[in-house]
Amino acid sequence: MTVRLGFIGTGDLGADHVRRCANILSGATVPALYNRTQSKAQTVAEQFASEALVTATPEELIESPEVEAIVISSASQTHEDLVLKAIEAGKYVFCEKPLATTADGCERILHAESAAAKRLVQVGFMRPYDDGYQNLKSLLTDDAVGPVLMAHAAHRNPFSGPHYTREMLISETLIHDINTFHWLLGESFRTVQVFYPRPTSRADAALRDPQLVLLETSSGVLITVEVFVNCQFGYDVQCALIGENGELRLPEPARAALRKNGQTSVAIPMDCKERFATAYDRELQAFVDGVAAGTLTGPDSWAGYVASATADACIRAQKSGQKEAVQLITQPEFYRNDTAV
Ligand SMILES: NC(=O)c1ccc[n+]([C@@H]2O[C@H](COP(=O)([O-])OP(=O)(O)OC[C@H]3O[C@@H](n4cnc5c(N)ncnc54)[C@H](O)[C@@H]3O)[C@@H](O)[C@H]2O)c1
Ligand SMILES: O[C@H]1[C@H](O)[C@@H](O)[C@H](O)[C@@H](O)[C@H]1O
C-alpha cells in the first residue's frame, strides 16, 4: 500500500522531509505541498515531487481527497491550528515539534483527538529513533545501572540566527531534552529552574545564551541541561544518566578518526539534519507504516503536551528566577494504554 502524504511547510526541515519521502522512504508518495510563500513549495516540488499540486491554502491540502495523511513542518506557531484541522478532517498527521507553542494549545489537541476516538497524531521528536538513544533506553529498561538518581545533558547548536529569542532556547531547543527524559525515564517533571551563566559575547546579550536548566522528575531525579545555541563548534548533543550501580552515557555518532599532521581528529556534525539524519528517516518511515497499518506508534499528543507544559514552566522560571512547579492535567484515559515509542 502507498500512503499519500501532503506536506505543509517546505522551509529548511520541511524540504528535507519531502526529499526523504521522495528518495529514501518506502511506501509513500507526495501528491500535494503547501507553503505560505508559494514559490518555496514550487521549488521543492520541482526538486523532489514534480507531480505534486501546490495548493493555495493549507485547508485545500488538508481536505484534498488526494491527501491521506499530513506532515506539518511549518513555523511552530502554526502547528496547533493545522493539527486541529487535520483531526477535524479525520486524517493522520505528523507534526514537527513543538506540538503547539503552549500547554493550553496541546490540551485543545488532546481533547480533539480523544473526541475523534482514534489516535491520529505523531509528534516529530526524533531522538527515540536514534541508535545511541535507543541503546540508552534499552539499557535502562534492562535495569543496567539500577534506579537513576541524576542526569546531565547538553544541547548545543553552532549558531542560532537573529530570529532566536530567549524563550526559544526553551520552546524550540530544550523541548527535545524534556521529551528525551520523559521517554527515557518514563516519568514527568515536578519542578524546573533556569540559571543564566556568564553570557557568550558571540550572541545578542538579550538572548542570555547559554542557559542551564534544572529539571526535577516526579520521583526526584535531578537533571541538568545546558542549552547553548551559539557554541560555534558544532551541533553537539550529550547525555549521561547516573544510577545506583553505574553510569550510562550517550555515544558520539560513529565517525572515523582522522590521523594527520601529528593529530587525531573526529568531525562533529554541524546541524540537526546531519546529526539526526537516520533518526528523521526512521520517524517518518514509522509514520508512513503506522498510517498504512492504521496504528501510529511514535511520540503521541500526550508526549507533546508534557513537553510543552514543562517548557511553559521553564519560561516562567526564566522570568521569575525561582523554582517553578510543572502543572499537568490528569492523563486522559485515551492516552494511558498507548504504544507510543
Ligand atoms: N525535530 C527537529 O529536530 C526539528 C529541526 C528543525 C526544525 N524543526 C521544527 O520544524 C518547523 C520548521 O522549522 P524550519 O527550521 O524548517 O523553519 P523554516 O523557517 O526554515 O521553515 C518554516 C516554513 O514554514 C513556512 N510557513 C510560515 N508560516 C506558514 C503557514 N502559516 N503555513 C504554511 N507554511 C508557513 C515558512 O514560509 C517556511 O518555509 C519548526 O516548527 C521547528 O521547530 C524541528
Ligand atoms: O528547531 C531546531 C531543531 O529542533 C533542532 O533539533 C534544535 O537543536 C534547535 O535548537 C531548534 O532550533
Within 117-254, residue ranges assigned H as helices are 131-141, 168, 175-185
CB 322 within 8 A of CB 193: yes
SS3 155: strand
C-beta neighbour count of 59 within 10 angstroms: 13
Amino acid at 297: T
Nearest atom within ligand 2 for CA of residue 276: 6
Q: Determine if ligand 1 sits within 6 Å of the CB of residue 14.
A: yes
CA of 172 to the centre of ligand 2 (A): 6
Q: How many residues would you count in the chain?
A: 341
Mutate to test the pocket of ligand 1, among 96, 129, 173, 273 (most ligand atoms within 8 A of CB): 96
Query: How do the residues of the chain divide into helix, strand and coil, expressed in percent and rounded to 5?
Result: 40, 25, 40
CA of 273 to the centre of ligand 1 (A): 13
Q: Determine if ligand 1 sits within 6 Å of the CB of residue 269.
A: no
Judge if ipTM > 0.95: yes
| pTM of the entire predicted model | 0.97
Mutate to test the pocket of ligand 1, among 73, 122, 160, 287 (most ligand atoms within 8 A of CB): 73
- Which string of DSSP letters, residue by residue, matches 207-218? G--SEEEEEEET
CA of 272 to the centre of ligand 2 (A): 7
Phi, psi of 311 (to 5 degrees): -65, -40
Based on DSSP, count helices (H) and strands (E) in the chain, helices before strands. 11, 15
Q: Which domains does the chain have, with CATH numbers?
A: 3-126+278-305+330-335 (3.40.50.720), 128-271 (3.30.360.10)
CA distance 194 to 183: 21
Q: Determine if ligand 1 sits within 6 Å of the CB of residue 151.
A: no
- Give residue ranges with CB within 6 A of ligand 2: 157, 172-173, 176, 229, 272
Mutate to test the pocket of ligand 1, among 8, 10, 13 (most ligand atoms within 8 A of CB): 13
CB 97 within 8 A of CB 307: yes
Residue 310 has what DSSP assignment?
H
> Beta partners for 249?
240
CA of 154 to the centre of ligand 1 (A): 23
- pLDDT (tens, 9 = 90+) of the chain, 341 residues, equals 899 999 999 999 999 999 999 999 999 999 999 999 999 999 999 999 999 999 999 999 999 999 999 999 999 999 999 999 999 999 999 999 999 999 999 999 999 999 999 999 999 999 999 999 999 999 999 999 999 999 999 999 999 999 999 999 999 999 999 999 999 999 999 999 999 999 999 999 999 999 999 999 999 999 999 999 999 999 999 999 999 999 999 999 999 999 999 999 999 999 999 999 999 999 999 999 999 999 999 999 999 999 999 999 999 999 999 999 999 999 999 998 655 55
Q: Give the pairing of strands 211-217 and 189-195.
A: antiparallel
Q: Determine if ligand 1 sits within 6 Å of the CB of residue 54.
A: no
Amino acid at 195: F
Residues 76, 125, 109, 322, Cα dihedral to 10°: -70
CA of 262 to the centre of ligand 1 (A): 43
Show the cell assigned to 268: 562533529
CB 81 within 8 A of CB 104: no
CB 6 within 8 A of CB 91: no
Atom 10, ligand 2: which residue's CA is nearest? Answer: 173
SS3 317: helix
HSE toward the beta carbon, residue 307, CA cutoff 13 A: 29
CA of 26 to the centre of ligand 2 (A): 26
Candidates 210, 144, 221, 149; CA nearest to 182 is 221
Nearest atom within ligand 2 for CA of residue 173: 10
Instruction: Tell me what pLDDT residue 324 has.
Output: 98
CB 301 within 8 A of CB 121: yes
Amino acid at 175: I
CA of 83 to the centre of ligand 2 (A): 20
Candidates 165, 156, 177, 170; CA nearest to 230 is 156
